[in-house]
Structure 1
């Protein structure tokens, strides 16, 4: 009995430490590969607890291996946008300018009832009030309401407003996203001028640069 308690305590500490090292995401926010690893870790830990004939190392080594694998995948995701899309997919715009993208809804295996339920949980009841609804890679639905119906509405105050747009990533970890530049009808010369005006001589120094929802250039350096 004492041996079972010791084995259980060791595996419990190892699993908690492993999950802690994996990051601070909550279960509902895990990417698919992270959720798979979490399930596998729980199964691997339970086997040596139930069967004393299984050496403790047969549970510890696979768990550590999965931790290393998860860490490597995370690093590759940070370094390669293509790899990130392959492993985690990419966000999907479900609603744009108050109109449901039916094709994307079907691609994501969502029903209309699923969608309106998520909208109600977010406090939105009319689809036409939504500028953009984006299904994130974690499965969470992000909603950008139309500017004229946000709290303390500009519409009520008769203040003219410009519709917010989806932020566009231009540089991530020093790498320029040419496709996103084309999306906003800009070129590399425009991006270089933005960097120069902010005293940045090399995009490799930039951790993140985006064109935000107000069409303003925002950046953060690596250092």
Structure 2
């Protein structure tokens, strides 16, 4: 029984050590690991299993070897940052497989890449015809980087000489039927605006799974009930919603301004709009 407890404790601490080593090694995915890092990872895993199960093994010696193997990648990474020779030695170099629209058969043989594998990698990149590929390189991670020919590339806004506003990440203002106040404030809106938008869409807050505001101030709603279609608001409803939105923005301006005169002016405008909304609501609903 004592041996079982001993093995369980050794396995637990070996697992903790592996977790710490993995976290310190960064966030590289398996496909991003070099061959050297892959071999080291396997070795460290085998050593941790050996330390956990071999009761006759000296625990200090086992963890010392683990520590040495864990420190080697950090040393190699440091030297790689300082020297291109070390970087090429441990990480390797990319291999060009297609250049100027021509397949380089010798490089394919060197990397042991068959024609079927090349075609598969091209298809995964959305290129079904070799004739459309200008350049392709097999990276050190094993991924294939592809540059299509100019005539096979998608048209971009730059090609059309079109200038658009910079895109920003959307703010998730509703999650699981709850309003995220910090995100709502970051989007430049307040609760009154959000309630107006929900009223415009004809949905209640508790039926909203996710709500996001994009860079243009548009609210996207995903409902719990996928069968429920968000109706398009009528012109009267849009007018009413716009009035409520303006009233809410005047209140927001009044809260944000430090000028007492401006605050009074915004509050007065908000009160007038509120009065107009109350009078027009029966006719616009």
Shorter-chain TM-score: which interval?
0.5 to 0.7
> How many pairs align?
157
Distance 1:144 1:85 in 2: 23
Give the corresponding residue for 2:120. 117
Give per-residue Cα distances to partners, 1:157-189, cap 9 Å, x unaligned. 9x7xxxxxxxxxxxxxxxxxxxxxxxxxxxxxx
Cα deviation digits, residues 115-141 of structure 1 (max 9, x gap): 111112222111111121111111111
Structure 1: which 5+ residue stretches go unaligned? Answer: 160-223
Matched, 1:78 2:81: yes
Superposition TM-score, scaled by structure 2 size: 0.52
- Determine the C-alpha separation between the residues in 1 that align with 2:96 and 2:133: 12
Instruction: Report the Cα offset of residue 2 of structure 1.
Output: 2.0
Q: Which residue of 11, 19, 23 corresponds with 1:20?
A: 23
From 23, 30, 35, the counterpart of 2:33: 30
- Structure 2 runs not aligned, ≥5 long: 161-285
Q: Name the CA distance, whole Å, in 1 between partners of 2:132 and 2:62.
A: 52
Are 1:61 and 2:68 an aligned pair?
A: no
Q: Is the 8 A contact 2:99 2:134 kept in 1?
A: yes
Where in structure 1 do 4 or more consecutive aligned residues deviate above 6 Å? none
Q: Does 1:95 align with 2:98?
A: yes
What SS class does the counterpart of residue 109 from structure 1 fall into?
A: coil
- Aligned ranges for residues 170-209 of structure 1 at < 5 Å? none
Contact 2:101/2:130 (CA < 8 Å) preserved in 1? yes
RMSD of equivalent CA atoms: 2.0
Task: Give the match's secondary structure for 2:48.
Answer: helix
Aligned partner of residue 131 in structure 1, secondary structure: strand
Alignment partner of 1:17: what SS? Answer: helix
Relative contact order (alpha carbons < 8 A, sep ≥ 6): 1 or 2 greater? 1
Q: Which residue of 1 aligns with 2:150?
A: 147
Name the residue aligned to 2:209.
none
The higher radius of gyration belongs to: 2
Provide TM-score, normalisation by structure 1: 0.65
Corresponding residue to 1:129 among 128, 132, 137: 132
> What CA deviation, in whole Å up to 9, does each residue of 1:30-89 have, x standing for no partner?
111100110100110111222222122233111110121111111111111112112221
Whichever structure has more helix as a proportion of its residues is 2
Checking the alignment, whether the CA contact within 8 Å between 1:48 and 1:58 is kept in structure 2 is no
Distance 1:147 1:59, change over 3 A: farther
